[in-house]
Every structure is written in structure tokens, then in C-alpha cells.
Amino acid sequence: MNALNRNKIRLLVSNRMPAATCAADFNGDGQVNVIDLLLLIGDWG
């Protein structure tokens, strides 16, 4: 198997795998930012 075929396989697999999530990404936008911080502060109590 040459390098080109391996890269194609990696690309296909990576496109089908779900992205890893971060526990601090409260709004689920794929980023941890000030919006997540404001959500945390708002729910703090």
C-alpha cells in the first residue's frame, strides 16, 4: 500500500469519526470561549 492510498484511507476515516468534545464547551459550538464562561457563571447560582 503506497502513501497516497494510506492518506486517502485516513481522510475517509477521519471524516466519518465524530469530533472529540470538550467538557468545558457548554454550548456545543466546538470552542471554549467567553460564552461558555458566561453560561457557567449564569448557572452557578
Mean pLDDT score, 22-39 = 91
Mean pLDDT, residues 20-43 taken together: 89
The pLDDT assigned to 20 comes to 64
Q: What are the residue ranges spanned by the domains of the chain?
A: 21-45
Higher pLDDT, 40 or 16: 40
Section 15-38 average pLDDT: 82
CA distance 44 to 23: 16
- Global pTM reads 0.53
Give residue 6's pLDDT. Answer: 73
Non-local (6+) Cβ contacts of 12 within 8 A are none
Instruction: Output the pLDDT for position 45.
Output: 74
Q: What is the pLDDT of residue 1?
A: 54
